[in-house]
């Protein structure tokens, strides 16, 4: 808690702080201090036209930063906050244009992490924060990842070990009716639809396919989440896993024949098959519990960069249900849309 107090003091002094949330680590500044907010962009080399998420600890702060909040947004806030959901709303005059990249909207979320909530409360202001990685890199899911990317670039780094979800929050645009999914994340969009009793529009870019309309989803135009090494997603029919794994193995064997040293990022269900074939592989988690796969995804992207005897990775695809939608969005984007269908 001493560290939380130190971090809050740094925020009040116009500094920037890396802090844990239940999704990924964030790099935050005082939302109301434009000079501090600019430091966040500089520290992570983020393009200035990609807006930040405003993190709050109470509903009172929601009414400070957003206006004309539709009842449906309030309903979602009451049901899913604190939690891995970000709502896009009309911004109040208190929020400076540096936070929203000049947009009339603001992205708001209340994180479900005791350290994050204590830090925001102690700071006394909403905290504007993107993920605490260098722009383009996989989001940090451990304090160690943050140190790797931002050592010497943040005033305080709070290390609280590994995050729970491992993928960022789900972003829903509530300024539109029906609402639009801007980014799938930790909260399955199906749960939002169930709560609202209606469908949320899921654009192609939210699946990680095709480029976003920049006006709608500014963050989606950049290559993201990527390991330095080449990554290819091998998508197929997952109803017959044995046949699917055989096709993945075929692709990988062709690569080996060309002299490459590939590794397969696979599910627990197919690992045995690659083992039998003598193919190098890393298990992301079980298809039967996609939560684990999401949690391990960015960590695994960073891990393959550390493997000296591996020069490229082939990742299995996953069904786009529940957290599977976030997994596939991140994977496709991280691959730079290098996707093979078998
Ligand atoms: O889980 C999370 O959301 C984490 C933790 C730290 O809270 N934050 C996070 O922020 O992932 P990041 O780096 O993804 O950046 C915020 C995203 C970007 O894709 C940005 O384009 C979008 O939110 N965003 C923020 N404000 C927006 C706005 N006014 N309109 C459209 N998109 C916006
Ligand atoms: Mg990010």
Atom 31 of ligand 1, nearest CA residue: 217
How many percent of the chain have pLDDT more than 90?
Answer: 92
Tell me the pLDDT tens digit for each residue of 247-296: 999 999 999 999 999 999 999 999 999 999 999 999 999 999 999 999 99
Cβ pair 34, 42 in contact under 8 A: no
Atom 24 of ligand 1, nearest CA residue: 51
- State the burial class of residue 327 (Cβ atoms within 10 Å of its Cβ: 0-12, 13-18, 19+): buried
Query: How far is Cα of residue 225 from the mean position of the Cα atoms in its chain?
Result: 8
Tell me the pLDDT tens digit for each residue of 204-223: 999 988 776 666 677 666 66
* Among candidate residues 302, 301, 283, the one with its CA nearest the CA of residue 292: 283
Distance 52 CA to ligand 1 centre (A): 5
Query: Two tokens at 261?
Result: 């040293």
- Which residue is it, tokens 């729970």? 164
Tell me the pLDDT tens digit for each residue of 55-76: 999 999 999 999 999 999 999 9
Q: Best substitution site from 21, 66, 111, 219 to test ligand 1's pocket, by max atoms within 8 Å of Cβ?
A: 219
* Among candidate residues 21, 216, 221, 1, the one with its CA nearest the CA of residue 105: 216
CA atoms of 69 and 95, how far apart (whole Å):
15
Query: What is the predicted pLDDT for the residue at 8?
Result: 98
Distance 131 CA to ligand 2 centre (A): 4
Closest ligand 1 atom to Cα of 28: 6
Query: What is the predicted pLDDT for the residue at 244?
Result: 98
Cβ pair 125, 71 in contact under 8 A: no
What is the 3 state secondary structure string of 231-273?
Answer: EEEEECCCCCHHHHHHHHHHHHHHHHHCCCCEEEEEEHHHHHH
CB of residue 267 inside a 6 A radius of ligand 1: no
Closest ligand 1 atom to Cα of 55: 7
3-state helix, strand, coil in the chain (%, to 5): 40, 20, 40
Distance 302 CA to ligand 2 centre (A): 15
Cβ pair 222, 136 in contact under 8 A: yes
Query: What is the predicted pLDDT for the residue at 335?
Result: 94
Query: What is the predicted pLDDT for the residue at 228?
Result: 85
Q: Best substitution site from 37, 51, 108, 224 to test ligand 1's pocket, by max atoms within 8 Å of Cβ?
A: 51
Query: What is the predicted pLDDT for the residue at 28?
Result: 98
Closest ligand 1 atom to Cα of 132: 6
Q: Low-confidence residues of the chain, pLDDT below 50?
A: none
What is the 3 state secondary structure string of 151-194?
Answer: CCCCCEECCCCCCCCCCCCEEEECCCCCCEEEECCCCCHHHHHH
Collapsed DSSP state (helix, strand, coil) of residue 338: coil
């Amino acid at each position: 808690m001493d560290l939380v107090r130190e971090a809050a003091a740094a925020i009040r002094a116009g500094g920037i702080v890396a802090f844990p949330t239940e999704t990924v680590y964030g790099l935050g500044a005082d939302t109301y201090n434009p000079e501090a907010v600019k430091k966040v962009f500089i520290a992570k080399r983020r393009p200035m036209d990609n807006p930040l998420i405003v993190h709050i600890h109470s509903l009172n702060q929601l009414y400070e930063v957003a206006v004309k909040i539709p009842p449906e947004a309030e309903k979602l806030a009451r049901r899913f906050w604190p939690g891995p959901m970000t709502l896009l709303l009309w911004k109040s005059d208190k929020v400076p244009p540096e936070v929203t990249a000049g947009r009339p909207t603001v992205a708001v979320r209340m994180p479900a992490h005791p350290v994050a909530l204590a830090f925001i409360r102690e700071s006394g202001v909403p905290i504007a924060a993107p993920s605490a990685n260098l722009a383009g890199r996989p989001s940090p899911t451990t304090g160690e990842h943050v140190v790797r990317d931002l050592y010497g670039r943040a005033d305080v780094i709070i290390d609280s070990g590994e995050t729970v979800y491992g993928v960022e929050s789900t972003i829903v645009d509530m300024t539109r009716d029906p609402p639009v999914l801007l980014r799938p994340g930790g909260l399955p969009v199906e749960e939002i639809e169930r709560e609202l009793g209606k469908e949320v529009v899921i654009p192609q870019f939210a699946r990680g396919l095709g480029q976003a309309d920049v006006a709608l989803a500014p963050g989606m135009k950049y290559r993201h989440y990527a390991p330095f090494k080449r990554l290819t997603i091998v998508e197929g029919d997952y109803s017959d896993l044995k046949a699917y794994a055989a096709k993945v193995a075929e692709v990988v064997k062709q690569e080996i024949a060309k002299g490459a040293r590939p590794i397969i990022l696979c599910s627990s269900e197919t690992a045995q098959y690659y083992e039998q074939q003598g193919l190098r592989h890393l298990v992301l988690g079980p298809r039967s519990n996609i939560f684990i796969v999401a949690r391990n995804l960015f960590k695994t992207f960073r891990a393959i960069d550390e493997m000296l005897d591996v020069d490229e990775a082939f990742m299995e695809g996953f069904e786009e249900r529940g957290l599977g939608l976030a997994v596939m969005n991140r994977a496709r984007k991280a691959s730079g849309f290098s996707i093979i269908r078998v």
